[in-house]
Each structure stands twice: as C-alpha cells, then as structure tokens.
Amino acid sequence: MKVAVVGATGMVGEVMLKVLAERNFPVTELLVVASERSVGKKLSFQGKEYTLIGLETAVAAKPDIAIFSAGGDTSMEWAPKFAAVGTTVIDNSSAWRMDPTKKLVVPEINASELTKEDKIIANPNCSTIQMVLALSSLHKKYKMKRVVVSTYQSVSGTGVKAVQQLENEIAGIKGEMAYPYPIGKNALPHCDVFLDNGYTKEEMKLAKEPQKIFNDNSFSVTATAVRIPTAGGHSESVNVEFENDFEISEVRRLLSETPGIVVQDNTDTNTYPMPIYAHGKDDVFVGRIRRDETQANTLNMWIVADNLRKGAATNAVQIAEYLVQNQLV
C-alpha cells in the first residue's frame, strides 16, 4: 500500500502522519509531499527518516492513496492529476465538498456509498463532522427539521500563524497577526471570509454539508461561527428541532451507542465536554443534553471534538481504512 501525504509539513499533515502510525495503517511505502520550498527536507515517521518530495514526483510514483491537506487551490489542480494515474485521493480542503460528482464522507455515516470509481473523495469541514456524527442516529429516529448551531472554534482551525498569534499575545510579544484583531481574551464572530449574504464561508459549510452527507434536503441548518482563544478543539452549541418527540433517556442511549461518540453528561458532577479533554482524542464528546422548553420536539446539546483529529486527519484516515478493508483501492 503506497500512501502519499500531501501537505505533510502542515498542522493537519503532521497529525495525519501521527494518526496513520497510531492506527497501524498498512503503509508499505510512504511518500511525504510538500511545497517546492520544503522539497529535500527530512521528516520522521515510525522511526524512519523520509525526504520530502514535490507533487510532480509524487504523481509519477502512482500511489494507491493520496491524503491531501494542502489547501483548496492545490487540491483543485493536483487531485485530478493523481486520480488520472489511478490514485484514490482523500481531500481535506473545501475544493470538492459540494461538487455533485464527488462523495462527502464521514465513515460512520455514509462510507458504504463509496465505490472503486470514486477517485476523489471529500473530507467534510471539521465543524460539520462532529455535528453530523452527533446528529446521525437522532436524525434516523426522530427526523430533523431545523438545526441552529453556534460554534466556539479554536485557533488551530485557522493554522499555525493563528496559533502563533495566540501564543505571542499570551507571552506579551508583538508579532504577525493571523486575525484582524487580537484573539487572546477575545471572541471573533468571523471564521473564514464573509459572503454576500452576510454569513461566512464556514457558516455556509455548516449549513450545506450536512444535507449532502445525509443525502437529505428536508432539514435546514443555520450557523454562527466564532473563533475563541483555545489552542485546540472545537465546541458547538446545537439546537435541533425534530418532527417527532423524544425522551431524553432515549436520546442519551442512542448517542452512547453511536460509534465514535462519548456521552459526558452529568450536571451533578460537573461532567460535560470541554476542548481541554478532547485534545488528542478521536472521539466526539456530547453533553448538556436537555430539552428546549420553549418549543416542541426540540433538543439542546453541547458537542466538542479535536478539530485536527476527527475533524480532519482521523476522518481522512478512517476513509482510507474503509477503502482498504473493502478492497476499493
């Protein structure tokens, strides 16, 4: 199994390599791929040293799987070139997510839709992944009508410059700004760029991607995405209106039986999900499960996950695992 990691030196790329090692993914030959300025540098994987190569060299090597985390422009240009030589691309950017010819996959929900013909597979947005995983079993049982989500997203979702900005501010150092304002002791209602409708791209990803993943346009999602000064882990306040009523005990049971979900929900012991506990874990944590007392058939939840792991790297590796297990590559 020849595997290429494209964008291997980035924040997500580094976590992808870590996750491949932790999950003992059957890599027989690893290609670590980066931008031209990094070509020739070294990085280590499972105790071995690898030399970074460029995209053209990687395409020529015809890997079985290429996991991309190198930005939308790189994916748009290079994913089809890999696909043309028979490589199956799993792309972590937003480039292909809403392309009607490409699958948008969270393995626990819709991996069964994948076939050998799917040569470019899209990894959803980090905030989308944790939300849909928590909603999947509830949607099946009670049928969602409307979801209102507010996110509390870590600076790691922006990238290494944003993490550096936060660290600089904590240390009292003046440095390069990833955001238009300070992020320490602050909250920015501004994730990604603003669109003509007044929403950001991040908010519209949360609105559109769940419908594609569930292959269902019968429900709607409205979002407000906020950047907060946490180093890692995204949190979400989710209010979901169902067509059918529910019992809270049954909601907890359904969630606890959902693969990849951990319920942390005991107000007596102050047990609830927090990014500090989600750090470095692959699970999605759900708590503060309670009925919305202002409206029928409506539920409130608090959902937390490590955005670099299940929100990006782990989900992509799980897609690769499914492809291998089902002989689709």
222-237 pLDDT tens trace: 999 999 999 899 999 9
In a 10 Å sphere around its CB, with 0-12 CB exposed, 13-18 middle and 19+ buried, how is residue 312 labelled? buried
Tokens coding 191: 């994730």
**Residue 78: its pLDDT value, please?**
97
Task: Tell whether residue 165 is among the known ligand binding residues.
Answer: no
Active site members: 126, 234
Specify the pLDDT at position 180.
96
326 annotated ligand-binding residue: no
What is the distance between the alpha carbons of residues 111 and 83, in angstroms, rounded to a whole number?
A: 19
Give the start-to-end residue ranges of the domains of the chain.
Answer: 2-124+312-325, 127-307
The dotted CATH code for 127-307 is 3.30.360.10
Q: Would you state the pLDDT for residue 308?
A: 96
The rounded distance, in Å, linking the Cα atoms of 229 and 242 is 33
Is 160 annotated in some ligand binding site? no
Which ranges of the chain have pLDDT less than 50?
Answer: none
**320, 67 Cβ separation under 8 angstroms:** yes
What are residue 88's DSSP bridge partners?
Answer: 65
10 marked as binding residue: yes
Determine whether the annotation assigns residue 227 to a binding site: yes
CA pair distance 271, 322, nearest whole angstrom: 33
- Per CATH, the number for 2-124+312-325 is 3.40.50.720
User: pTM score, two decimals?
Assistant: 0.96
The set of residues, in sequence order, having a beta carbon less than 8 Å from that of 196 and lying 6+ positions away, is none
